C-alpha cells in the first residue's frame, strides 16, 4: 500500500466506493466518472504503479485481474453482449491514477480504434 495513493486508500476502506467484487488479490468498484453505461475499475490490492512498472513477479496478479473482470461481466449480465477491458499506461496512455487498474466497460457497442 502507498499512503498517498487514491486507489490504495479505496482498497483499505479509507475512501468509500461502490464495491462490486473483491477477493484476496483484487477489488472492483464503480468508476465515479463512467465512460459507458457500466464502468468498473478492477485494481490489485498490492500497489503497482502501472503496467510499465509491473514485472514477471506480477504475472499471476495480472491474469487474476483480467479473470476477475470477466467474472464481473458475467455476473452483471453483460458478458454475452460484449465488453471492453482497458489498461491505460502512463501519461500519454491516458493513465491518471498511478495504481495499476483495469477498466471494465459495458452496456453499449464500442468502436475500434478507440482513441
Active site residues: 101
Contact 30, 20 (CB under 8 A): yes
Distance CA 40, CA 32 (A): 9
Q: Which residues pair with 40 in a beta bridge?
A: 30, 104
Q: Which residues pair with 102 in a beta bridge?
A: 42
Length of the chain: 115
H/E element, 38: strand 38-44
Asked if 30 and 17 touch (Cβ cutoff 8 Å), the reply is yes
Amino acid at each position: 500500500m502507498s499512503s498517498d495513493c487514491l486507489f490504495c486508500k479505496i482498497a483499505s476502506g479509507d475512501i468509500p466506493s461502490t464495491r462490486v467484487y473483491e477477493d484476496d488479490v483484487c477489488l472492483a468498484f464503480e468508476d465515479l466518472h463512467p465512460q459507458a453505461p457500466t464502468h468498473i475499475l478492477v485494481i490489485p490490492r498490492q500497489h503497482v504503479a502501472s503496467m510499465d512498472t509491473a514485472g514477471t513477479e506480477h504475472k499471476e496478479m495480472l491474469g487474476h485481474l483480467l479473470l476477475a473482470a470477466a467474472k464481473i461481466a458475467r455476473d452483471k449480465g453483460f458478458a454475452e453482449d460484449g465488453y471492453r477491458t482497458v489498461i491505460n499506461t502512463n501519461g500519454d496512455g491516458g493513465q491518471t491514477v498511478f495504481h495499476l487498474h483495469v477498466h471494465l466497460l459495458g452496456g453499449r457497442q464500442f468502436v475500434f480504434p478507440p482513441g
